[in-house]
């Protein structure tokens, strides 16, 4: 009888643990999907500390305050994968939509592309145990090429819902055409769901990295992107643009999916025929074929 009681207790505990994990995962999913919709966004960045040895000639980045209207589209909605596409609205016409960054969320994912430097990402295979209950956030450039990735658990405690991770990334677009004195941005990202929308908070290290992976800290900065929810009708322009253009981006994601599935280090060219990848892809018509898309992306991959 005692053995039966022990077995029953184990089965009951396992069942309760499984249900608890299911509830937690659903809570995570709700937080991730809460980032969808129409938002008025305030982008704020300021350099906080400098560590340059050449402190006399070093010029800190200017403090940035910017704002915009952004639509976050739910592109894929699966139990273990959620894809959110950001679309920036910069005017009132059909041509005033910018396909912005994309974030994929994968549950208990073990395959990561970690940014190294100079348009190179290194593939890492993580132990299954190390990602239990965690979500990987994979952030992509406007052309769906890689940017940065990190894995961590969503936290729901004391009325707060947030995800926090530290990972390496390329220079942000606000800096990559202005600065060449550092080549890695180590990002501490916090994405927190709030009653009025969500916040993307950053504490970043500007790093000079050599080929031996020796890092020198140049400066630090604080970032605070505040997403305030507004009525979806304000983003109708972006919604319509996505309906007309989403099929070509399905092809782009499909090609990149095959590239990432190789599970090996990846290096990309900055330009081909004096053009950046995003500018070539942005020129494609919605009717572009998969072959056209594949050929373009292949031309930017270092063999």
- Domain limits, the chain: 2-233
CA 252 to each of CA 121, 141, 303: distance values in angstroms, whole numbers, following the listed order: 19, 12, 19
- Is residue 12 scored above 50 in pLDDT? no
Share of the chain above pLDDT 70, in %: 94
Radius of gyration from C-alpha coordinates of the chain: 21
Average pLDDT over residues 162-191: 95
The values of phi and psi at residue 90, to 5°, are -110, 5
Question: Quick one: pLDDT at residue 1?
Answer: 60
For the stretch 131-166, pLDDT in tens is 999 999 999 999 999 999 999 999 999 999 999 999
Other C-beta atoms closer than 10 Å to the C-beta of 203 total 15
Strands (E), the chain: 37-50, 64-78, 81-89, 97-107, 111-117, 120-125, 135-140, 146-152, 154-157, 160-169, 184-194, 197-209, 215-230, 266-267
Question: Quick one: pLDDT at residue 177?
Answer: 86
d(CA 237, CA 248): 18
In this prediction the pTM is 0.91
In this prediction, residue 10 has a pLDDT band, given cuts at 50, 70 and 90, of very low
In this prediction, residue 94 has a pLDDT band, given cuts at 50, 70 and 90, of confident
Sign of CA dihedral 171, 174, 180, 186: negative
CB 270 within 8 A of CB 278: no
Classify the phi-psi angles of 179: left when phi > 0, otherwise alpha if psi is within -120 to 50, otherwise beta: beta
In this prediction, residue 212 has a pLDDT band, given cuts at 50, 70 and 90, of confident
Q: What's 283's DSSP letter?
A: T
- CA 261 and chain centroid, separation: 18
Question: Quick one: pLDDT at residue 2?
Answer: 62
For the stretch 52-83, pLDDT in tens is 988 788 999 999 999 999 999 999 999 999 99
For the stretch 278-303, pLDDT in tens is 999 999 999 999 999 999 999 999 98
The mean predicted confidence, pLDDT, of the chain is 94
d(CA 109, CA 123): 13
- Is residue 7 scored above 80 in pLDDT? no
Average pLDDT over residues 18-23: 78
Question: Under 8 Å CB-to-CB from 114, ≥6 apart: which residues?
Answer: 121, 122, 123, 124, 149, 167, 168
Question: Quick one: pLDDT at residue 262?
Answer: 97
């Amino acid at each position: 009888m005692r053995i039966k009681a022990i077995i029953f207790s184990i089965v009951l505990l396992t069942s309760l643990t499984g249900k608890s994990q299911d509830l937690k995962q659903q809570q995570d999913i709700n937080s991730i999907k809460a980032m969808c919709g129409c938002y008025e966004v305030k982008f704020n960045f300021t350099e906080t500390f400098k560590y340059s040895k050449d402190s006399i000639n070093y010029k800190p980045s200017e403090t940035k305050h910017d704002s915009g209207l952004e639509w976050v589209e739910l592109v894929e909605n699966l139990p273990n994968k959620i894809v959110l596409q950001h679309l920036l609205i910069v005017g009132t016409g059909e041509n005033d939509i910018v396909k912005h960054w994309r974030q994929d969320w994968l549950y208990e994912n073990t395959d990561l592309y970690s940014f190294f430097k100079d348009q190179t990402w290194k593939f890492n295979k993580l132990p299954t145990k190390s990602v239990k209950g965690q979500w990987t956030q994979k952030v992509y450039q406007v052309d769906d090429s890689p940017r940065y990735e990190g894995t961590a658990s969503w936290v729901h405690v004391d009325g707060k819902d947030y995800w926090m991770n530290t990972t390496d990334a390329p220079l942000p677009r606000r800096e990559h055409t202005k600065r060449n004195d550092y080549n890695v941005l180590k990002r501490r990202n916090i994405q927190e769901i709030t009653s009025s929308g969500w916040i993307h908070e950053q504490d970043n290290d500007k790093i000079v990295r050599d080929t031996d992976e020796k890092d020198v800290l140049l400066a630090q900065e604080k970032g605070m992107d505040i997403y305030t929810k507004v009525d979806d009708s304000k983003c109708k322009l972006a919604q319509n643009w996505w309906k007309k253009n989403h099929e070509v981006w399905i092809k782009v994601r499909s090609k990149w999916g095959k590239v990432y599935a190789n599970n090996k280090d990846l290096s990309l060219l900055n330009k081909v025929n004096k053009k950046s990848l995003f500018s070539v892809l942005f020129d494609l018509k919605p009717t572009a074929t998969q072959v056209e898309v594949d050929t373009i992306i292949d031309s930017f991959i270092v063999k």
